[in-house]
Amino acid sequence: MRFISPKTDFAFKKIFGSKNSEPILRSFLNAILYGGQPTIVSLDILDPYSVPRLEGMKDTYLDVRAQLDSGETVLIEMQVLNIEGFEKRVLYNAAKEYANQLQKAADYDTLRPVIALTITDFVMFAEEELADRIINRFALIEKEQFIHYPDGDVELVFVELPKFGMEVDALQTATEKWLYFLKQAGSLEVAPDTLTEIPEIERAFSMAEHAKLSRDEERALDKKLQWLADQRSLKKTNRKLAAELEARQSELDRSRDELEKAKALLREAGLTEEQIDEKLG
């Protein structure tokens, strides 16, 4: 049996954002945002396309967008490639979702919290303090006393899959099992029993079965995988070219330094600038 990898946005949307995905998404969000506690009782999966109400703001299309029973809106995005400006895009999407709630003549009190949940297949925070933290949460706080801003309604949550390295036999919590599913499902041939103890993860595996894809879905997945492969190849080529350019620049800088040293020695020997230029060609 083969499973499609949830790390592709196509599969992620299919598993977590489809018509019948509410129980799966609810279990997943409870595990990631609330440590496995049943904080979210119900949610509605919304259209991920967001049209701005403020002039000048861009449209956005997220992987999954949901409104919780408590009123919060959660924006969920699976990101495989570390593209330039990605951090700003996450903040922009959250800020726009928050601003879009305010209708004309509405009170600011009507604004409800927004949580931007971003899962990355690359490391975003390599700082020593965060190097071992898989899930990091950011909110508005006072810089010196670390006091949270009153009604700080915009929160950014990041899940970095490369930092998660647990083996299947060591998994215990719902959070660990969902993280393992996200990272490893695409490489498994059988759904592990320790994961399918959670009914929603068993259901997620069922939705991820490659054999259940329609022809159109299979073509869409193949197209997406090819695009990702092309992008990775392009990034690899760009890194190689950048390294070669840096090496050439270093070589050029060394040559310039040697030339300046040679000119200095010739000046000390009493040669004029014209004689130096003629001698050094």
- Separation CA 60–CA 55 (nearest Å): 14
Q: Which of 65, 63, 66, 78 is nearest to 42 (CA)?
A: 66
* Local confidence band at 101 (pLDDT 50, 70, 90 cut-offs): confident
Which pLDDT score, from 0 to 100, does residue 114 have?
95
22 pLDDT tier (thresholds 50, 70, 90): very high
Mean predicted confidence (pLDDT) in 236-241: 72
Q: What is the pLDDT of residues 185-229, one digit of tens each?
A: 999 999 999 999 999 999 999 999 986 777 777 777 777 777 666
Q: How many residues make up the chain in this entry?
A: 281
Asked whether residue 50 carries a pLDDT value surpassing 90, the answer given is no
- Which neighbouring-strand residues pair with 119? 78, 159
What's the pLDDT at 206?
94
Q: What is the pLDDT of residue 245?
A: 78
The whole-chain average pLDDT of the chain stands at 86
How many CB atoms lie under 10 A from the CB of residue 31? 22
Cα separations in angstroms, 23 against 2, 123, 177: 23, 29, 16
- Domain boundaries along the sequence of the chain: 9-212, 214-281
User: What's the start-to-end Cα distance of the chain, in Å?
Assistant: 71
H or E element at residue 10: helix 9-16
Residue-wise pLDDT tens digits, 131-152: 999 999 999 989 899 898 887 7
Measured on CA atoms in the order 177, 178, 180, 186, is the torsion positive or negative?
positive
Main-chain phi, psi angles of 44, to 5 degrees: -115, 130
- What three-state secondary structure class fits 251? helix
Q: What is the mean pLDDT of residues 105-112?
A: 81
